[in-house]
Structure 1
Amino acid sequence: MLNLGIIGTGTISHQFIEAAQLTQQYHLKAVYSRQLERAQNFLARYETKNLACYDDLKAFLASDFDILYLASPNALHYQHAKAALEAGKHLIVEKPAFSTPQELEAILKLAEEKSLYFFEAARNYHEDSLAVIKQFLADKTVVGANFSYIKYSSKMKDLLAGKMPNVFSDKFSGGALVDLGIYPIYAALKLFGKPKSVNYTASQLANSIDLNGNGNLIYPHFHIALRTGKNYDALNHAEIYTRDGTLILNHIQGISSAHFRRHDGSRKELTLPEMEHLMSAEAKHFADMLNHKNETLYQTWLEDARSASQILYQMRQSAGIVFEADNK
């Protein structure tokens, strides 16, 4: 059983705890927030026996847990992750793990020095459905794809009222690409590997942060069109085009259905594994890695995390999206 600590008191942290508990491999131990009352309110829905709240980061990291789930604002991930590794904790960092490839490399170096594990919580990368889809495509010639993740943000109301939510802030490394566009990127990495080049154009705020955008992941014999956005809603199905027909997925994450439509109009349904919870596969995979240590698979995860970070950075550069972290 892995003792679990949490930084970040938003909805995503509750979702990860739910998924972790379903695996029966984690035990919630401690929560940190800069405001103690917020940590206490966060824990109110859980059995409070042997659970601890902290507003002192050093005391929190010195407490008795094995692995940290980190879901603070994007720009704070690096300092929190560094402190956690120095305190001897394994890391699960919510996507996007870090603002720049340089931050990621520093954390990976420190994790290796400390003999600790780092995982980026890109949940769709770990979905069992993607493994089935990859196997289905193994004997197909892919000629293109269209991957989207577009969802109207709950923070748009604040933005339109003249406020600056973290998700749209250059200070906090926000924007549609890093928040939602990362899902198509991770799906592409899992199915097709690293592209040879990328580009991105976007509708941007005055601070350069993107509200929505279109990009391309360019492979030697095909390219993937990527669409993402946080200021409108759209259907988020994905299509993968082959010489024999089109594979249509109901979404790029939380994939629950897929069918292949051949050029003659006939149709084949893929049988996909049922998903207990959107985040249960990643939670299980991380626990299994810590318990059974498959070094080859772990290195694959790290290389794909590196690729995702580099792709996000290159796409931001292409669009002129600048974070404060870029200048550090």
Structure 2
Amino acid sequence: MIKFGIIGTNWITDRFIQASEGVEDFQLQAVYSRTEERAKAFAETHGIRDWFTNIEEMASKDHIDAVYIASPNSFHCSQAITFLNKGIHVLCEKPLASNEREVQEMIAAAKKNDALLMEAVRTTFLPNFQLLREKLHTIGTIRKVNVSCCKYSSRYDAYKDGTVLNAFNPAFSNGALMDLGVYCIYPMVVLFGEPKEIKATGTMLDSGVDGSGSVIMKYDEIEVVSTFSKISNTHIPTEIQGEDGTVTIDQIGEFSTLTFYNRNGETCSYVQQEDYPPMYYEIQEFVSVIKAGEKLESLINSYNHSLLSARVMDEARKQIGLVFPADR
């Protein structure tokens, strides 16, 4: 059994626990929260044996093999390195860190301590993403990609009323690019690699983060236009255009339905089977890599993919003037 600890007690950790129930050799052992009341309540709700309010104490106990980090982005680097330095494997929510420099530090700690570090971008493990990679050649030479992830944040109403919650606070390395833009950028890096050129625009809020924006990634033959927003919604699917056909993805964060359109008018749709919750597949990959024990790195959410994604977002932030305390 791989004994897990969890950092964070929010809705995403609830979904993580639900998804982990189908993963063989997964055992939930510990939880951390900043407050004793929250840690104890979460542990009781989910039947977790150990709870902590101190990260160092949690990492020093010889009772967990791995940890899932779902804290605010600005804490990812320091928390991950604390566990990695103890030889504890780390599955860390996207984005992996505030910037590329922090990602490099985390990877160095993982390699030094023979521990697995993996970015928890769930979409790249979903069956339909794997199917997309297998069948992408059928649409011929790819020319243009329009990818969108725009979801009006429930926290934006509080923001407009004068309350700046974590989602719109630069101290936590947040904003539209970091929260939703990564869903657009990371899969494109996995599919096409590092872009030759990046052009970014953004709508900056008074709090100092971006409410929405776009990033154009230019390759030798492909132009990828990514749009993302936390202050508006979209109902337009992602589209990959090739010379021989087009494929649409209903939601870039879900990949539940792929539809291929041939130039001759033929169409074919693939609906993802709902055998497991979406987060199941990333947990299964993480556990499988640990148990294989040969090379402690995912071939899909690899170190290189995390570095390239962070590099793209760093350049985009530079162009729109989005600076975090973690950058200084």
Name the CA shift for 1:270/1:56 in 2 (closer, same or farther; >3 Å): closer
**Paired residue total:** 325
% identity of equivalent residues: 28
* 1:51-73, Cα deviation, whole Å (9 max, x unpaired): 11111222222230110101111
Over 3 Å counting, the alpha-carbon distance change for 1:245 and 1:294 in structure 2 is farther
Give the conservation status (yes or no) of the 8 Å contact 2:289–2:296.
Answer: no
Is residue 145–residue 241 contact of structure 1 (8 Å, CA) maintained in 2? yes
Describe the superposition over 1:251-305 as per-residue Cα deviations: whole angstroms up to 9, x where unpaired. Answer: 1122121111223433122465545111011000010000114639636611101
Letter in 2 for 1:266: E
Letter of the aligned partner of 2:30 in structure 1? Answer: A
Which of 32, 56, 59 is the aligned partner of 2:57? 59
Question: Taking structure 2 as the reference length, what is the TM-score of the superposition?
Answer: 0.94
CA RMSD of aligned residues (A): 1.7
The Cα of 1:207 is off from its aligned counterpart by: 4.0
Q: After superposition, what is the alpha-carbon deviation per residue over 1:112-137, rounded to whole angstroms, capped at 9, x for unaligned?
A: 11111101101112222111111111
* One-letter amino acid matched to 1:60: M
- Matched with 2:120 is 121
Q: Any residues of structure 2 matched to 1:69-148 within 5 Å, and which?
A: 69-139=68-138, 140-148=140-148
How much does 1:85 deviate? 1.6
Look up the match of 2:161. 161
Q: State the alpha-carbon separation in 2 of the partners of residues 174 and 100 from structure 1.
A: 12
Residue identity in the other structure for 1:184: C
Q: Secondary structure at 1:138's aligned position in 2?
A: helix
Instruction: Name the structure 1 match of 2:201.
Output: 201
113-122 or 250-259, larger mean C-alpha shift:
250-259
| Alignment partner of 1:224 is 2:224 | yes
Q: 1:132 to 1:257 in 2, by over 3 A?
A: same
> For structure 1, which segment, 287-296 or 133-142, has the greater mean C-alpha deviation from structure 2 after superposition?
287-296
For residues 248-327 of structure 1, the aligned pairs below 5 Å read 248-270=248-270, 272=272, 274=274, 276-293=276-293, 295=295, 298=298, 301-327=302-328
- Structure 2: how far apart are the matches of 1:24 and 1:293? 16
- Structure 1 runs of 4+ aligned residues shifted over 6 Å read none
For 1:195, the aligned partner's letter is P
Q: Distance in 2 between matches of 1:298 and 1:246?
A: 29
Q: Which moved more, 1:305-314 or 1:194-203?
A: 194-203
TM-score, normalised on structure 1? 0.94
Task: Deviation per CA, 1:217-248: give whole Å up to 9, x if none.
Answer: 11111111101000111115211101122211
| Helix, strand or coil at the partner of 1:155 | helix
Deviation at 1:320, TM superposition (A): 1.1
In structure 1, the partner of 2:12 is 12
Q: Mean Cα displacement is larger for which, 287-296 or 186-195?
A: 287-296
CA contact 2:164–2:207 (8 Å) conserved in 1: no
